[in-house]
Amino acid sequence: MTLLAVERMKLLTTRSPWWCAALALALTIGFAALMAATADARVPVTVGASQFGYTFGMVVVMVMAALAITTEYRFGTMRATFLAAPNRTPVLFAKTAVVALVAGVIGEVAAFGSWGITKLLAPNADLALQTPYEWRAVAGVGLVYAVAAVLAVGVGALVRQSAGAISILLIWSFLVESLVQLIPRVGDDIHRWLPFTMADKLITGDPDPSGRDVVYGPPPSDAALGPWPALLYFAGVAALVFAAAVVTTNRRDA
């Protein structure tokens, strides 16, 4: 409990997590407001469309998670932490738990905030949360953000440099997984098993029941697994990266 309290204070008493949280909320809710404001009878707004900006918020949350550990290496506070708590594994687990919890809360606030602003701007739209798809599209965002934060902490602990860790996370999520599809014959098959494609399955795994064109909302994921198995797959990838970070951190100097 002491380590958790320490990590909570270190995270919440610095400015960057608050700025990242504000930016993540602004992006996701702002995109939802834009989708609602541009909707019409031909292109109705839906629950799925209200979460159009969730991936942008997820990237900001991963930046926050990576900075939570890389800045400690940059300013040397990680060395002091390891001197106070020589067993490094519980330190990493405590930091990751706190960051993941904060990321999950940001995700839920962003998702329900996006849904709420959509209902406010489009009061006549059918935005009831009734089907499993609709509940996953909103409530599932916090789960995806939490797992993504664990992955980002793992990458940050492995790289130990803010610019490097953030670059890896951004390039992988925005470029690599899309460019893989350009590989002849096997590109699409590989893409269906990539981690962020799997994460997207929980939110957009089923077709939008309104039949809304994908141009006006998040396209359905083509992941090879169902929504919940896909989330477990994404969590497994995050766990492997985090485990590698724990082993590496215990073997090298602080």
CA distance 179 to 48: 25
CA distance 242 to 154: 4
Mind listing the pLDDT tens digit for each residue in 129-163?
Answer: 888 888 888 999 999 999 999 999 999 999 998 89
**Cβ-contact 122, 209 below 8 angstroms:** no
Mind listing the pLDDT tens digit for each residue in 3-38?
Answer: 788 888 888 888 888 999 999 999 999 988 888 887
Q: Of 20, 24, 22, 21, nearest to 54 (Cα)?
A: 24
**Cβ-contact 141, 110 below 8 angstroms:** yes
